């Protein structure tokens, strides 16, 4: 089973499109030529910038990923620019996915609000979520039950992309915390399920927390075939370990401005079909130039990254 989001991705992967452009509009970096054109409206400025980037790169990518922080920081005008950007992509380039990068997650009705905002109001095809709140447990009768992130996971048509091993330098503070699977209590196993399969899969007893996240999302959360994982490119060894555990799609940030090695990323992260990756670059593409040629420069940067990805794919 796979969601409409995964099917849309697979359509792009079949055309050798793996790049995701992060639409993160920093006002200080938007080219002056656009500021001169729209001097009075932040909404128009941000939308025009995004529009030109999208129009210049749409035939090279599998997705766009607007990070909510850049729009929320601009208030109502920023959120309006985000909504216009999503509509522009969906109306003009329907085969390309929009990933709302808000890293949402909470409990109860709060998640209902997050789901409605991201999918029904904004119209995104996928959203990033924080797995810390959990999603699944077994009740006293041994039946699996979903809560917390349930409103996200129930959206069968959408992609739910859980943070797993992020690309920032301090990520390991919690994500690398070693967990001894042999010391997990019977109470935990009864309530949340066995992980003996994971021990057999990796061939060791002690694993970092991020690998347990990858396993649980794959085995227990992905009942609708709509889940994916965020796994950062700067850590190819961790990327490879996560791929051993999960065949789900990976959203892979850290290529470009964070200078991850594209070859190591591709070799570590591609699945058995040499697909399965959404390789994100934000600043390295959208701010490739701050001159009047910014859209053309963005296309060149996207094309270069796409060519590198596919060059290394052919050797797998």
Q: Catalogue the active-site residues.
A: 103
| DSSP label of 234 | T
User: What is the C-alpha to C-alpha distance for residues 231 and 250, in angstroms, rounded to an integer?
Assistant: 6
User: What is the C-alpha to C-alpha distance for residues 90 and 74, in angstroms, rounded to an integer?
Assistant: 23
Tokens 């452009």, located at residue: 21
Strand runs labelled E in the chain = 19-23, 61-66, 97-104, 126-129, 136-138, 144-146, 159-165, 178-180, 206-208, 227-231, 250-252, 277-281
Secondary structure of residue 226 in the 3-state scheme? coil
Q: Are strands 136-138 and 144-146 parallel, antiparallel or unpaired?
A: antiparallel
User: What is the C-alpha to C-alpha distance for residues 50 and 25, in angstroms, rounded to an integer?
Assistant: 8
CB-based burial of residue 211 (10 Å sphere; 0-12 exposed, 13-18 middle, 19+ buried)? buried
Q: Are 127 and 99 in contact (CB under 8 A)?
A: yes
User: What is the C-alpha to C-alpha distance for residues 190 and 221, in angstroms, rounded to an integer?
Assistant: 17
């Amino acid at each position: 089973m796979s969601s409409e989001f995964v099917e849309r991705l697979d359509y792009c992967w079949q055309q050798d499109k793996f790049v995701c452009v992060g639409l993160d509009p920093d006002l200080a970096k938007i080219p002056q030529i656009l500021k001169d054109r729209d001097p009075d409206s932040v909404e128009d400025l941000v939308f025009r910038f995004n529009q030109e980037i999208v129009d210049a790169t749409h035939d090279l990518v599998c997705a766009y990923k607007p990070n909510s922080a850049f729009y929320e920081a601009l208030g109502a005008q920023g959120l309006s620019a985000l909504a216009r950007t999503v509509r522009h992509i969906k109306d003009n380039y329907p085969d390309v996915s929009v990933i709302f990068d808000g890293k949402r997650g909470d409990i109860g009705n709060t998640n209902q609000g997050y789901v409605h905002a991201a999918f029904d109001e904004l119209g995104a095809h996928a959203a990033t979520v924080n797995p810390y709140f959990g999603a699944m447990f077994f009740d006293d009768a041994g039946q699996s039950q979903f809560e917390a992130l349930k409103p996200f996971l129930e959206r069968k048509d959408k992609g739910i992309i859980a943070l797993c091993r992020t690309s920032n330098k301090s990520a390991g503070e919690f994500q690398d915390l070693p967990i001894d699977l042999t010391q997990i209590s019977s109470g935990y196993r009864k309530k949340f399920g066995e992980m003996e399969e994971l021990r057999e899969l990796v061939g060791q007893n002690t694993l970092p927390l991020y690998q347990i996240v990858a396993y649980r999302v794959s085995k227990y959360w992905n009942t609708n075939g709509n889940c994916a994982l965020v796994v950062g490119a700067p850590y190819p060894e961790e990327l490879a370990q996560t791929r051993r555990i999960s065949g789900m799609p990976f959203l892979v940030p850290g290529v470009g401005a964070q200078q991850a090695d594209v070859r190591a990323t591709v070799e570590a992260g591609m699945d058995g079909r040499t697909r399965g990756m959404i390789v994100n670059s934000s600043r390295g593409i959208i701010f490739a130039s701050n001159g009047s040629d910014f859209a053309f420069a963005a296309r060149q940067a996207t094309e270069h990254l796409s060519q590198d990805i596919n060059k290394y794919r052919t050797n797998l």
